Chain A
């Protein structure tokens, strides 16, 4: 199928680029010595209830990368309609995957999901309901969780 050196070479390049120009939102690096397991520390977007929090995200990269998307999981607890309590996130986010996208693009997509939740396609129905009907209460809980968990 996909040439294994394709994913290897590309991941190597992505890491080099990240080291050359560190992103504004935090940092990302490989876990241990496997190129296919990443960890990112992501700053909560300004203006969102996640502001001032730092969220750890685990990224698993398939052997067929970049033809197949990575899988994403929040290691930090987060109050969000599209992120399950176990940290897994709605597959919809990566369903528009293109092999042209990189790991940084995935993180940028996640940050925009933090800024703009999508309550029509929720993983946590109750949170989505609250997001729609009582935004203040939602923001309040999300902020509290951020303070408590996303240090």
Chain B
């Protein structure tokens, strides 16, 4: 599958818009087909002539059966090293040692009796057969009599009837993941109920659940494997490289930082994890001040009517039918939108904190208010992109809706609406990077040389993303006929490509340390 290339064949990049963007190197860039590839930041600086968007596979998405075979491989290894024939024993020992094979072997060599007793498999014995002489047995839980064949005891010889064992274990499993550390029912007995006992006593469905809790502990106790944080996702990811900077891609489609492992944070390129921590801490420290500031500034810059932001686009209109004045402006800087459009021959810089104004204020006082205002500048932009990300699912749904409308209105093939989803995904990718670019910008030395290049790349990315967003949110009512639809489609398709180039430029620039001469 190579859908991007198909698009390139169908529609050439609109030269005018590419030039307007002020970047001649666009056509020299190479592309990766997937658009979600990993970037290798560590080893090579960026290069303008060769694409450095090298693929690198240092993580692995694991499903349930992968986890099962991995954990069993580990059990087998320990069985071999320590010459313990029982899998159930070793599994219990490994769980007790948090699946740390080396530590287990070390402890076992030191004092195997103590380790086995602590782990709840004393002397590596699993259960106690019933004494031959006993004809009848009274269960201490249900207080009823049973024949010895209907009873079971672990190695501690605390014997109960099988129905009581079944109820006991099934209730433990119903209580959740801790069931894998269930002990014998006798008061204060520390002997652990092993897998074989569970398997022999509980129903197959319950044993299935028990086994999945064992796999869960295998992941939870393993620093190299973590569950994908996307809600409802069943996969986990193994990543052997510590402090991996690039995002990992789960099979569920979610792309995120493995270290942070947080659904809300997601992929925070180009910002390092430590800076994300710092930023989130600051955001929570400042949240009261920020709430106040935001509540008092969400008004039309012209007529002061309250304004509401819909969709991901930064192009705002003070709605006349809602009692407003009709003023069109930029959500970020509150400047007139007319100064943002390509038609007016240039974009207004709305990604830079106005230094002259800041300087003026700095001279007046170096108080917290100035700092807060500077912070607010970055926070506001961060938050705007973040909110656009938050409604990603809604945007996807809307895009599908729009696809349906297009299909019925223009009687086109479903392949002709694919560009909408491509644009949606590209916009979301750009917004994610833009969101964190403001964190990066906030911590970037205010007077550094790198700052110029950074803001230049950020501005490029932001204005083209906004342009695509406006184009993309165009109402279908304005497209009168098939011809105008095709024209619009070409524009969106081309701009999707262009913004991808700017995203790649930005990522390469930042990962290259912002030293390359643009």
Contact = CB atoms under 8 A, between A and B. Distances in A.
A124 interface: no
A33 B141 CA distance: 23
A10 B144 CA distance: 9
Contact of A99 (B144, B170, B174, B185): B185
Given A2-B167, A6-B164, A96 B188 contact: yes
Contacts of A145: none
A1 B143 contact: no
Nearest to B163: A3
Contact of B171 (A67, A96, A98, A101): A67
B187 A100 contact: yes
B368 interface: no
Contacts of B185: 98-100
Instruction: Give the interface centre of A6, A10, A68 by most chain B CB atoms within 10 Å.
Output: A6
Contacts of B82: none
Interface string B124-149: 00000000000000001111100000
A39 to B, nearest CB: 23
A126 to B, nearest CB: 32
A51 interface: no
B488 interface: no
A68 B175 CA distance: 11
B168 interface: yes
B158 to A, nearest CB: 8
B159 to A, nearest CB: 11
B138 to A, nearest CB: 12
B401 interface: no
Contact of B140 (A9, A64, A67, A100): A100
Given A9-B144, A67-B171, A99 B188 contact: no
A95 to B, nearest CB: 12
Interface residues of A, number: 16
Nearest to B175: A68
Nearest to A100: B140
B141 A100 contact: yes
Given A67-B167, A99-B164, A13 B143 contact: yes
Interface string A89-102: 00000001011110
B160 to A, nearest CB: 8
A49 interface: no
B294 interface: no
Interface residues of B, number: 17
Given A66-B141, A100-B140, A100-B141, A1 B187 contact: no
B186 interface: yes
Contacts of B187: 96, 98, 100-101
A9 B144 CA distance: 9
A98 B167 CA distance: 13
Nearest to B170: A1
B198 to A, nearest CB: 15
Interface string B181-197: 00001111100000000
A10 B167 contact: no
A2 B171 contact: yes
Nearest to A101: B187
Interface in A58-78: 64, 66-68
Given A100-B185, A100-B186, A10 B142 contact: yes
A1 B171 contact: yes
Q: Which has the most chain B C-beta neighbours within 10 Å: A64, A68, A99, A101?
A: A99
Nearest to A68: B171
A6 B167 contact: yes
B137 to A, nearest CB: 14
Interface string B259-290: 00000000000000000000000000000000
B144 to A, nearest CB: 7
B163 A67 contact: no
A6 B161 CA distance: 12
A118 to B, nearest CB: 17
A109 to B, nearest CB: 11
Nearest to B171: A67
Nearest to B172: A67
Interface in A1-19: 1-3, 6, 9-10, 13
A1 B142 contact: no
Nearest to B168: A67
A99 B141 CA distance: 6
A45 B153 CA distance: 37
Contacts of B163: 3, 6
A66 B189 CA distance: 17
A101 B141 CA distance: 8
Nearest to B183: A98
B164 A1 contact: no
Contacts of B188: 96, 98
Contact of B168 (A10, A96, A99, A101): A99
Contacts of A101: 187
B176 to A, nearest CB: 14
Contacts of A98: 185-189
18 contacts: A1-B170, A2-B170, A2-B171, A3-B167, A6-B142, A6-B163, A6-B164, A9-B142, A9-B144, A10-B143, A13-B143, A68-B171, A96-B187, A98-B185, A98-B188, A99-B185, A100-B141, A100-B186
Interface of A: 1-3, 6, 9-10, 13, 64, 66-68, 96, 98-101
Given A9-B142, A98-B187, A100-B186, 8 more contacts: A1-B167, A1-B174, A6-B142, A10-B141, A64-B171, A98-B185, A100-B185, A101-B187
9 A-B pairs with the lowest CB-CB distances in the bound complex, closest first: A2-B167, A98-B187, A67-B171, A99-B141, A100-B140, A99-B185, A13-B143, A67-B168, A6-B142
